[in-house]
Amino acid sequence: MISLLLASRNKKKSAELQAILSGLPVRILSLPDFPGAPEVIEDGKTFRENAAKKAVTLADWSGLLALGEDSGLCVDVLGGEPGIYSARYAGSGNDLANCEKLLEALKGVPPEKRTAAFHCTVVIASPGNKIVGVCEGKYSGTIASDLRGSFGFGYDPVFIDPSSGKRFAELEPEFKNQISHRAIALAKTKDVLRSYIDLAKSNVDK
């Protein structure tokens, strides 16, 4: 069985990634399984650059297939902010502080102008600086004027899902994991991984 290392130290994100990737014939590992893993500085200018850096770095270090993911919230009226800085928007890496800063930035902005979208880029890399696949997902909605809900993480309490009218943080994880930006990107990732596994099996059989 092929092992896949999730290049993320965010426990909630790793749990979500594992849930969406369930069913694949891969053994999923996470960075807590590797105490000596290098810290990757996310200094790219795009989600793709950050995801690729994480995947390539951890694949080369571990000798395993690695999955790097970077995602964030882009608010139209703020010119795409917080974007790649979503996790550290308020400077502390604290979800509540990030949400509160966003609500303050949108204070007085009418509902029809509070449009936004979650973006996600997933990169799969194998040892030797080889990119196996790049997959992207986007999910559009609007930003509420307060926080609500107890599920999820990040900006989920302020992001309104247009299909249900609820915040992402009010959706059961099983439902959110079928529709979100991360679900869209990982559905494509599953196809990439299946192709990679099939190729690996055919090479072994030769």
**Active site amino acids:** 70
**Angle at CA 125, nearest 5°, toward 134 and 117?**
35
* Residue 28 exposed, middle or buried by CB count within 10 Å (0-12, 13-18, 19+): middle
Helix intervals (H) in 94-180: 95-105, 173-179
User: 149-168 burial, b if ≥16 CB within 10 A, otherwise e?
Assistant: beebebbbbbbbbeeeebbb
- Output Rg (C-alpha) for the chain, integer angstroms: 18
